[in-house]
Each structure stands twice: as C-alpha cells, then as structure tokens.
Amino acid sequence: MIKVKDKLMIGGEVLESRLFTGTGKFSNKEVITETIEAAKSQVVTMALRRVDFDSKEENVINYIPDDSILLPNTSGARTAEEAVRIARIAKAAGCGNWIKIEVISDNKYLMPDNQETIKATEVLAQEGFVVLPYVTPDLMVAKRLEEVGAAAVMPLGAPIGSNRGLKTKELIRILIDEIDLPIVVDAGIGKPSQAAEAMEMGADAVLVNTAIATAKDPVTMGRAFDWAVRAGREAYLAGTGVVKNYASASSPLTGFLKGE
C-alpha cells in the first residue's frame, strides 16, 4: 500500500478532500447537509443569489456544515464588473474571501467568457480574494490567470449541467502539464468514473454539483464520488502503466512444456 502525505493547498488552506461540491439543483434542501458530509467535501460552492438571510429555510448557507470552506460563485454575472460586485457583496455578507468567478453571457451553451473572467480575477486578486476562475480550457488563458493572481484554474469538462463527462480532456491535460496552479475540473462530470478519470490524469481536484444533486439518491452518489476521487488520485500517485499499441504477455510464453 502506498503511503503518501498528499494534501492540496489553495489560498493558504490545506485540503484533505479533493472533491468540491455544489448546493444547486437539490430537490430537497434538507438533504444537502447529509450529502456534503457523505462526500467528505471541505469546499462547498453556492450562488450568492440563493443566500436569503431573511428566511432560514431558503438560506442555503444554513444547510452547509459549519466547518466547510465557502466558495461563493458569481453565477448570473455577464461582465467582469458584475462579477466583481457580486464577489464584494459575498465577502461583506460574511461568506469569506474565496470566490469562484463565473462570467457567462452565452445563454445557449453557457460557456464562460474567458477574457472578462481574466479582468475580474485581476481586480479581485489585488483585493486579497482567493480567486478560482471557471473557464473554457485554454493554455494562454490559464497562463494569463496565473499571472494576474488566480489561486487555481477551473476548466470545464463539458457544458455546465450536461453530465457529458470530459469532452475537453486533451485541453485539460495540457493545463495540467503546463500550469503550476492547481487545476480543478469543473462542469460536465456526470459519473464517479469520470471524476476518477480526471484525477488519474493529474487534476488536483474536481467540482461536482449536478451529477450528485440530481441523482435518485444524492447522499449515496456523494459517497461514490468521494471514493472515485480518492481512487483516481491514488492511481495517479501510483503511476499508471505504459499504454501500448500491441500485446505484451504478463507471463513468459517460452520455456515450459519442453519435450523429453
């Protein structure tokens, strides 16, 4: 058994869990707490517009375990300016200084606006935020985000909420190979096996919401994703075998059953 002290650090926080989870799309808010606990997630994201301080039942923060690291997102922002404003409001509301930047003006495919995301990241990083920008995987964009102070890069695996898996796999692989920041695969992961695949590639973490929240049993699905992420990370650390285009016997094919 491999014994490795393997922890992820983002924004000065040491993370034991590499599975980030969300709080949207749950049919019943009461199950959010149990699901997060089953998934063993430390980082939990939520849309600021779902935080209602006037209603205990509607305020999603009341369903997030107290020891979680809150990762408010700027869902609904269409420009860098709007994202910055939402981030400042979240911090002022007591949500901490972590922020996931989402800038989306495309209503059909919900693809992030990379350039506006870079602008927002630069402003907020200078203000002391721990910024995790959500982007379409692009090496030059990731390098620019690194330059302006992002704490991690969150490339999408497939269109948000699609559960289609790692459709941008080869582009994400380039970011893993070339960017020193943690790479957190976000959006599109629909099955635990897909999360394991991302981790086997060398991704530092994954963020999963829709696949867990819309499962028939979100609690059990959260637990399954926890296992998958840990298994994928162990496989990456172990070092997977070389892929070959031809057969290679695992046992000798000669030297046995020799005649008298």
Number of domains the chain is built from:
1
- The kind and range of the H/E element at 128 are none
Q: Is residue 227 part of a domain?
A: yes
Q: Is residue 255 part of a domain?
A: no
Average pLDDT over residues 216-237: 96
Q: Calculate the average pLDDT of the chain.
A: 90
Q: Look up 100 and say whether it is catalytic.
A: yes
Q: Is residue 250 part of a domain?
A: no
Q: How many CA atoms lie within 13 A of 13 on its CB side?
A: 20
In a 3-state reduction of DSSP, which class is residue 42?
Answer: coil
For residue 246, the model assigns a pLDDT of: 78
pLDDT tens for each residue of 183-207: 999 999 999 999 999 999 999 999 9
Q: Per-residue pLDDT for 240 more than 50?
A: yes
Query: What is the per-residue burial (b if ≥16 Cβ within 10 Å, else e) of 41-70?
Result: bbbbbbbbebbeeeeeeebbbebbeeebbb
Q: Is residue 197 part of a domain?
A: yes
For residue 256, the model assigns a pLDDT of: 57
Catalytic residue, from 56, 100, 143, 169: name it.
100
What distance in Å separates the CA atoms of residue 125 and residue 30, rounded to the nearest whole number? Answer: 34
Average pLDDT over residues 19-38: 92
For residue 61, the model assigns a pLDDT of: 85
Give the lowest-confidence range in 4-18, 76-90, 98-112, 207-221: 4-18
Give the lowest-confidence range in 95-109, 133-147, 197-211, 232-246: 232-246
For residue 183, the model assigns a pLDDT of: 97
- State both tokens at 125: 């990083």
CB-neighbour burial class of residue 233 (10 A; exposed 0-12, middle 13-18, buried 19+): buried
Token pair 């907020």: residue:
124
Q: Is residue 54 part of a domain?
A: yes
Under the banding of pLDDT at 50, 70 and 90, the label for residue 244 is confident
Q: Is residue 245 part of a domain?
A: no
Average pLDDT over residues 141-168: 94
Q: Per-residue pLDDT for 52 more than 80?
A: no
- The kind and range of the H/E element at 87 are helix 80-92
Q: Is residue 247 part of a domain?
A: no
Do the beta carbons of residue 135 and residue 168 sit within 8 Å? no
Under the banding of pLDDT at 50, 70 and 90, the label for residue 260 is low
CATH (domain of 221): 3.20.20.70
Q: Is residue 53 part of a domain?
A: yes
Query: What value, to the nearest 5°, has the Cα angle with vertex 6 and ends 11 and 151?
Result: 20
Give the lowest-confidence range in 55-69, 131-145, 219-233: 55-69
Task: Return the closest-CA partner of residue 32 out of 3, 60, 74.
Answer: 60
Average pLDDT over residues 73-90: 94
Q: Per-residue pLDDT for 257 more than 70?
A: no
**Domain hosting residue 52, numbered range:** 8-238
Average pLDDT over residues 53-82: 84
CB-neighbour burial class of residue 2 (10 A; exposed 0-12, middle 13-18, buried 19+): exposed
Phi-psi region of 165 (alpha: psi -120 to 50; beta: other; left: phi over 0): left
Q: Per-residue pLDDT for 211 more than 60?
A: yes
